[in-house]
Chain A
Amino acid sequence: MSVTNPLTKNIEDGRDPLSFKEYQAAGGYQSLDKAMKMSPRDVMGQVKDAGLGGRGGAGFNTGLKWSFSPEPDGGPRYLVVNADEMEPGTFKDRLLMEKDPHLLIEGMITSSYALSATTAYIFLRGEYTLAEERLLKAIDEAYTAGMLGQNIQGTDFSLDLYLHTSAGRYICGEETALINALEGKRANPRFKPPFPQVSGLWGRPTLVNNVETICNIPGILTHGVEWFKNLGLGDECGTRISGVSGRVKNPGCWEMPVGTTFRTLLEDYAGGMQDGYELKAFLPGGGSTDFLLPEHLDLPMIPGDVAKAGSRLGTSLIMVLDDKTCPVGCVRNLIKFFAHESCGWCTPCRDGLPWVEHILNKMEEGTGEMKDIEILQEMCGYMGPGNTFCALAPGAAEPLQSSLKYFMDEYEEHVKHGCKYKSH
């Protein structure tokens, strides 16, 4: 029977991750063999045809992104796995790295072959200490088994793979900031173009991909493009990890076919809302996405469909806002995060976010004024796309602008009577 849950098939609750030998016995580490029967460009072509979209938030076709890298010139080339996972409400890469580190490593090796990369890095957020320990062990095992290092499996393909642990800063997840951080610099984003594919780490061709994106590569090469396409619902390809946090009965994350609806995720997987709480709204894919309403639950979790409803699928881990939690307080918490994590380069972000936070604090304390609501609306424009160097500020504007759209009455209520929700 063919595999239907390639990302989590080796994951069992309460069990340590598979060792190299166990992972291999379970069918792992076959994708490089398959890939090496093809040219690197043909492997890229397969990944493109499989219709794999990046899982880091933007959803861009991975094979297509890879194809923008120039032909190898004999110099160093890099693959960097983005394991910074600091978007509030996101906890999927943690699962993949803690529970099946060899899947990521296999994905990195095969991807590096496709990209003609000579060195691969995992950029891991510093707080993921268990993932760090397990990845280091798995990397060691892979070197010992000859899957990493010089002349892998007796071929002329060589690859070094290293783990870099960061020290807590959300902006490092932005791919050009991440490259600066890896070079040992302050993690401000870089101007694009040139894109990292052309000039990234130390000026060399570099691909930055999300953990989950790379974890999809072994399956595509091992089982083929058709198999991958058939995993999705309807026209969709593959599976992805989606999850729920907030006041639901069974919070968590699970692998499911691409195209699954929010309702199935929320009701079947997460068991619905906790007793006594009703769904008021939800953030579909992390703290930097626009709120959606219960009426949007039947949308499939596909970037295009979610965009049509006025939001973004983002990381596809949803956070539910219940009827007993203050929406203004919720947005204030998100804005506080973004204000703190701004790298300080552009004015709308560096100065705008603290101002918004200040106004939301006033609202919560009951000293807000009607004109503050107008200022908030204006600020959404200043922080919107095109006015800043990177996507942090536009992302921060998303929950704010959508809360103003859907909960204007609550903002007005705050101005008139202060916050009526008790605990927060």
Chain B
Amino acid sequence: MTDLIASTALKARQLTEEEIHDIEHEKTHYPYAQAVGLEALKIVQKYQGWVSDESLLAVSEYLDIPPDELEGVATFFNMIFRQPVGKNVILLCDSVACWMLGCDDLQAHITKTLGINYGETTDDDMFTLIPVPCLGDCDRAPSMMVGRELYRNLTTEKIDQIIAEYKSKA
């Protein structure tokens, strides 16, 4: 990936006004612009769904952070997506309390219902399934998030309802 970025074939895209506005806001929180690298990637992801090479280069130029260094940050964090993801990212907790209370069965159920394994996206780009470490919600395990929403005390029935809800919103 880094080689790709270093090659001249790829060009930074133009950041949107909204993106620049949000990045500028974050910059007021830190003495150095370089500190907002992760925030800027999160902002880009919020508007674009994921962080493409073109987006990464744009942030790199805008904040004057070398692309390799920014890529080092981007790939370090679990929640920065360097590949396209579906409209709704399902983050299923697979840590110990959720495991004890059956998250493997839930994963199997989601995989059967949506036809996607961990790391995969449905053909209609509606859902991506990703495992997430302990969501800090262990007293209501098993838990998962869809986008920014938390769902707890999950059962296969509840998962069916949640999926139906998101499908009907589309």
A129, B136: Cβ atoms under 8 Å?
Answer: no
Q: Is A192 an interface residue (CB 8 A)?
A: no
The 8 A CB mask of B23-52 against A (1 = contact, 0 = none) is 000000111101111110110000000000
CB-based nearest A residue for B102 = A423
The answer to whether A207 has its CB under 8 Å from any CB of chain B is no
Contact A86 B136, beta carbon cutoff 8 Å: yes
| Contact yes or no, B96 A169, CB < 8 A | no
**Size of chain B's interface in residues, with CB distance under 8 A?**
46
Tell me, yes or no, whether B154 is within 8 Å of chain A by CB: no
The smallest beta-carbon distance between B149 and chain A, in angstroms, is 8
Give which listed residue, A76, A125, A251, A333, contacts B138 with CB less than 8 A. Answer: A251
Q: Is A396 an interface residue (CB 8 A)?
A: no
Tell me how far the C-beta of A143 lies from the nearest C-beta in chain B, rounded to whole angstroms. Answer: 13
* Contact between A247 and B38, CB atoms less than 8 A apart: no
CA distance A423 to B101 in the complex (A): 10
| Segment of A87-95, A102-110, A405-413 engaged in the interface with chain B | A87-95
B12 CB–A CB distance under 8 Å: no
Docked Cα-Cα span, A316 to B78, in Å, equals 26
Q: Are B78 and A168 in contact (CB under 8 A)?
A: yes
CB contacts under 8 Å to A, within B72-107, are 72-73, 76-80, 91, 94-97, 99-102, 104-105
Query: Are B138 and A167 touching (Cβ within 8 A)?
Result: no
Chain B residues with CB under 8 A of A76 = 31
0/1 interface trace, chain A 321-332, chain B, CB 8 Å (1 if under)? 110010001100
Stretch binding the partner chain, chosen from A146-154, A183-191, A300-308? A183-191
- Residues on B with C-beta less than 8 A from A424 are 99-100, 104
Bound: A91/B152 CA distance, A: 13
Within 8 A of B (CB), among A324-355: 325, 329-330, 333-334, 337, 340-341, 343
Chain B residues with Cβ under 8 A from A243's Cβ?
A: 139
Is the CB of A60 closer than 8 A to any CB of chain B? Answer: no
Contact across chains for A168 and B132 when beta carbons are under 8 A apart: yes
Tell whether B141 is near chain A: CB-to-CB under 8 Å: yes
The reply on B145 being an interface residue by CB < 8 A is yes
Residue of B nearest to A185 (CB): B73
- The 8 A CB mask of A274-300 against B (1 = contact, 0 = none) is 000000000000010000000000000
Given the complex, which residues of A lie within 8 Å of B39, measured CB to CB? 164-165
* B79 in contact with A90 (CB, 8 Å): no
Identity of the chain B residue whose Cβ is nearest the Cβ of A94 in the assembled complex: B136
Residue with the highest number of chain A CB atoms closer than 10 Å, among B79, B80, B136: B136
In the assembled complex, the CB of B145 is this many whole angstroms from the nearest CB of chain A, namely 6
Chain B nearest CB from A289 CB (Å) reads 12
Q: Are B100 and A325 in contact (CB under 8 A)?
A: yes
Q: Knowing A76-B31, A325-B100, say if A341 contacts B138 (CB, 8 Å).
A: no
Is residue B137 within 8 Å, beta carbon to beta carbon, of the partner chain? yes
A225 part of interface (Cβ distance < 8 Å): no
Residues 93-123 of chain B, each 1 if its beta carbon lies under 8 Å from chain A, else 0: 0111101111011000000000000000000
B130 to chain A minimum Cβ distance, whole angstroms, is 10
Shortest CB distance B76–A (Å): 5
- Does A22 touch B at the CB level, under 8 Å? no
Task: Point out the residues of chain B lying under 8 angstroms from A51, CB to CB.
Answer: none
Additional 16 contacts, C-beta under 8 A, given A91-B139, A127-B91, A169-B78: A86-B133, A88-B133, A94-B136, A166-B77, A167-B41, A168-B132, A184-B34, A185-B69, A243-B139, A321-B100, A322-B100, A334-B96, A337-B95, A340-B133, A343-B76, A423-B102
- 23 pairs, A vs B, C-beta closer than 8 Å: A85-B136, A88-B138, A89-B134, A90-B136, A91-B138, A128-B136, A129-B148, A165-B42, A166-B38, A167-B80, A168-B77, A168-B78, A169-B78, A183-B32, A183-B34, A183-B35, A184-B36, A185-B73, A246-B100, A251-B138, A321-B100, A333-B95, A340-B133
Contacts from B to A (Cβ < 8 Å): 29-32, 34-39, 41-42, 65, 69, 72-73, 76-80, 91, 94-97, 99-102, 104-105, 132-141, 145, 148-150
Interface set of A (CB-CB < 8 Å, partner B): 76, 85-91, 93-94, 121, 125-130, 162, 164-170, 181-187, 202, 243-247, 251-253, 287, 317, 319, 321-322, 325, 329-330, 333-334, 337, 340-341, 343, 423-424
